[in-house]
Amino acid sequence: MTTIAELPPGFADKVLSAQSTFRSVMDAMARPGSVQRIVPGAGTPDRMMRGTAAIALTLFDHDTPLWLDARMAESSDVLKWLKFHTGAPVVQDTSIASFALISDGALLPALDRFALGTSEYPDRSTTVILQVERLDAGRSFELRGPGIDGAARLQASIKPFDLFERLAFNEPLFPRGIDVVLVADDAVVAIPRTTRIVSKES
Amino acid sequence: MRQVLSKGSVNPVTQHNTQQAQRKAAMAVLAHAEAGEIAARLRDLALDVALPPHQDLRAPENGLVMLRGRAGGDGAPFNLGEATVSRAAVRLASGEVGFGYTLGRDGEKARLIALCDALVQSRDFGGAVERDVIAPLREQLMVRRKQAAAETAATKVDFYTMVRGEG
């Protein structure tokens, strides 16, 4: 009868923690490339970062089909935790997922396999939540686009290394496309579909 | 090799069912008890035995459940209306997870029920909780129910139809 014995807890204060996490993600989306902090208020299952767990508790519910990469999907801790706290259905089909959780960038599938939304409902696309190594050091990227005054500089060590090249596929799709949220522990950076990478140096 | 079963071994399925029945019975009592009474009894219990450390797995939250009825008791189901329900989940340090559901908006009561449910499952505290918390509350509940039944019974009126003597 200890089937969920090792289950980490959810938010201690559901309303305030969810509001503050939502605010961080919203600010990250509004200012692409800026690093926002999430105040960790929840337990985290194995293989999930604190920021990812907080985002999961805030944004996922039974109406948001969820796709997990192979590393997360094989962990029964993660599956049980998500099921108990969010109730989000885990799906195998990437093209119907509202969110995709990627714990290891090497397992990121081809981006065109995700839901891209429709011209009438561009919001029905997959939001990819990608756990990365660091968002304060590493290769330097220059970002431009709506929400950025001039250019924003982002330093990050990201796997897959060609993530931004792969995200260029968003360009001809607009208004359809994929939004990406990068998480490194409690730091969050959003790369919405309108953001373009201008240059990078190593 | 011959397998030797010790005399005291219990079929795990039977054990599981017994525990489920016990938790069900405890929940039936706790859901009808006052939050203050449960808290007081748990406090008294804590004086005798140190309760294990525990944490909120799911902090108390309020929500609505749809109540469904059936016309005439066995007819087509229909939605009667919604009721407010509070729920919580508590985990003991030893791993037992308890759940609490109760009508109304008293989140603290849901948390206390969840804690009792977790303790009932625990090998070390199950007996003590059953004896010092659930049994007295069950007795109180029975007394209250009996009293209400007696008060209602006192107002019972029997109607007779008089038959006229002729004919």
pLDDT digits (tens, 9 = 90+) for B51-96: 889 999 999 999 999 999 898 888 899 999 999 999 999 999 888 9
- Asked whether the beta carbons of residue B61 and residue A11 sit closer than 8 angstroms, the reply is no
| pLDDT, position B42 | 92
Asked if B59's CB is within 8 angstroms of A14's CB, the reply is yes
- Is the pLDDT at B6 greater than 60? The verdict is no
Nearest-Cα residue of chain A relative to residue B55:
A9
- Average pLDDT of chain B is 88
Residue type at position B4? V
Contact between residue A116 and residue A177 where contact means Cβ atoms under 8 Å apart:
yes
**pLDDT above 70 (res B164):** yes
Domains of chain A with bracketed CATH: 14-194 (3.40.50.11310)
CB contact under 8 A, B58 and A1: no
Q: Is residue B75 part of a domain?
A: yes
The pLDDT score that the predictor gives to residue B9 is: 57
User: Is B7 inside any structural domain?
Assistant: no
pLDDT, residue A2, reads 41
pLDDT in tens, B27-53: 999 999 999 999 999 999 988 888 889
- Asked, for residue B77, whether it belongs to a domain, the answer is yes
Q: What is the pLDDT of residue A69?
A: 94
Q: How many CA atoms lie within 13 A of B14 on its CB side?
A: 3
In this prediction, residues A13-32 reach a mean pLDDT of 94
Compute the distance between CA of residue A99 and CA of residue A66 in angstroms, rounded to an integer.
5
Residue B160 has pLDDT above 90, yes or no: no
Domain count of the fold of chain B: 1
Tell me the chain B residues in contact with residue A14 when contact means C-beta distances shorter than 8 Å. 59, 61
Task: Report whether pLDDT(B166) > 80.
Answer: no
In a domain, B27, yes or no: yes
ipTM of the complex: 0.72
- Strand bridging mode B77-92 / B97-103: antiparallel
Q: Is the pLDDT of residue B124 over 60?
A: yes
Q: pLDDT value at position A61?
A: 94
**By C-alpha distance, which of A90, A168, A99 is closest to A127?**
A99
* Domain membership flag for residue B150: no
Contact between A10 and B121 using a beta-carbon 8 Å cutoff: no
Per residue, the 3-state secondary structure of chain A, as one string, reads CCCCCCCCCCCCCHHHHHHHHHHHHHHHHHCCCCCEECCCCCCCCCCCCHHHHHHHHHHCCCCCCEEECHHHHCCHHHHHHHHHHCCCCECCCHHHCCEEEECCHHHCCCHHHCCECCCCCCCCECEEEEECCEEEEEEEEEEECCCCCCCEEEEEECCCCCHHHHHHHHHHHCCCCCEEEEEECCEEEEECCCCEEEEEEC
Q: Which of residues 103-142 of B touch A (CB under 8 A)?
A: 121
CA distance B164 to A26: 85
B25 in contact with A, Cβ within 8 Å: no
More confident residue, B97 or B8: B97
pLDDT of A94 over the 50 cut: yes
Least confident span in A49-53, A136-140, B74-78, B160-164:
B160-164
Q: Give the one of B19, B61, B95 whose C-beta lies nearest to A14's C-beta.
A: B61
CB contact under 8 A, B57 and A9: yes
In degrees and rounded to multiples of 5, residue A126 shows phi and psi of -80, 135
Domain residues for the domain of B123 are 12-135
pLDDT over 90 percentage in chain B = 65
